[in-house]
Each structure stands twice: as structure tokens, then as C-alpha cells.
Homo-oligomer: A and B are copies of this chain.
């Protein structure tokens, strides 16, 4: 990790954000203070932590003369229960979580800031990202959660019957999309970023059994109202406009993630208290 300046600060603190932005042209906004499940419990806290803090960020970007903001939105929640699957970008957005409403609102403010002040933006509606460096602290991302449970020798917990299908995209593909969004100069501002393939929770369990060679135990629990049965993105716009398509192999991607998380686990078990970055 060279040529990286690292600042730590509270996203809700505009002066901390202003310090971090100084001298840069492009801002990648990947912050979210809640999860789809937690956001519904306190919707007002969700608006405050995400929407209001993001408006502060945009005001700060505008004052700092930032040329473009790349925002990672949520391909899995902004559409709610969409009529069209795979779901294209121009589908109506009726989220069934406060999390999704907040992501959608931030997209609207990006558009507003472009209209009022000429600050450019791109929105990537990323499906369900996974891969190395996925930390478990936020309790988000089922692949990371499954691997953590396996490493802790606990049974896997599945909400619902295991048939829920999602569009999992490897972080290396997401990073490539973020880079392409910086240089893209066409008419579109919203891109779905996903594998375009719907995979069930039971399929993930199958892959994990294959990788570990173990008969991993699964406990099925009641489904949650925030979980739609299937979510998979139509990514043809990203292919046509950004020349982007997901290329990581699913099984290999899970194997990489598993290997990385096991190294983390071994490191912690050996008395390390910081996550090594490579």
C-alpha cells in the first residue's frame, strides 16, 4: 500500500471530511452508517447518519472544487421488489428498507448538485459485493458471515429457506468499475454493477462445502421482511457504456475470500490485534 494518505475521522463531522478532501479531484463515497436490517429499526437515525452526512459531504466537495463524486449505491435495495428481473437501471425504485431509501435519496442529491453547481457524479448500484478485506464488524455480507461462522466452528444461520437468490459480485470487479466510472464521460449517471447471475444461499453453502471439504451444518430461521426473494441486476448498460463486465470466477472468488479470512483468523489467534493489509 504505497502512495496512499490515510485519514481517520467521523463522516458526520464536516471539518474532518474537508481535511481529507483537500487537494483531490475525485471523491469515492462508499460510507454507510447502517445495514438494511438496522436501518428499519431507527429510520430517523438512518436518514441522519447517511442522507444528512452525505449532503454535508457534497457541500464540502463543492467548496473544495471536487470535479466528480463516485457514489456506491445499493443495487440490492434501491429497487425494492422490482417487476423486472434481471432489473435494469430505469426500473421504478420502491425500496422496502430505510437503507434503500437513503441510498436513493443520496443519488437524487448528486443529481441536484450537478444541476445547481455543475459538480459531476456517477452512481454505481452495486449488488452484493464480497471478497478479501471484507471485515465482519458491520454484520453485512452473507459470504463473509458464513466464512466467519465456519472459522468459528459454528453452524451457518440462514434467514428463510435458503432459496433466496442474490447477485454476488467480487470486489475486484467492483474496483474495476469504480476506476472506469472516473474516466467515463457519457450521458449516463447510474450503472448497475453485478454479476448478472442469481445464486441461492444454498448454492453458496455448496461452494463452501466444496472448498473446505467439510459437511457444514446449516440452521434455517424465519425469513425477514427486508429480504426480497430474488435480486439480480441487468448490467447491460455497464457493458455497453463502461465496457465493464464481471469477470471473477464465483467459486475461485469465494476460495480467495475464505483463504484471506482464515489468515486473519490465524493472525488474531496468534495474538495479533490489527488486521494486516496483505
Contacts and interface: CB of A to CB of B under 8 A. Distances in A.
A112 B101 contact: yes
A95 B116 contact: no
B44 A56 contact: yes
Nearest to A113: B43
A77 B25 CA distance: 31
A97 interface: yes
A97 B90 CA distance: 21
Interface of A: 40, 43-44, 47-48, 51-52, 55-56, 59, 80, 90, 92-98, 101, 104-105, 108-109, 111-112, 115-116, 225
Nearest to A101: B108
Contacts of A52: 44, 47-48
A116 B225 contact: yes
A70 B123 CA distance: 32
B43 A109 contact: yes
Across the A-B interface, give the 4 residue pairs with the lowest CB-CB distance, nearest first: A101-B108, A96-B115, A94-B111, A43-B55
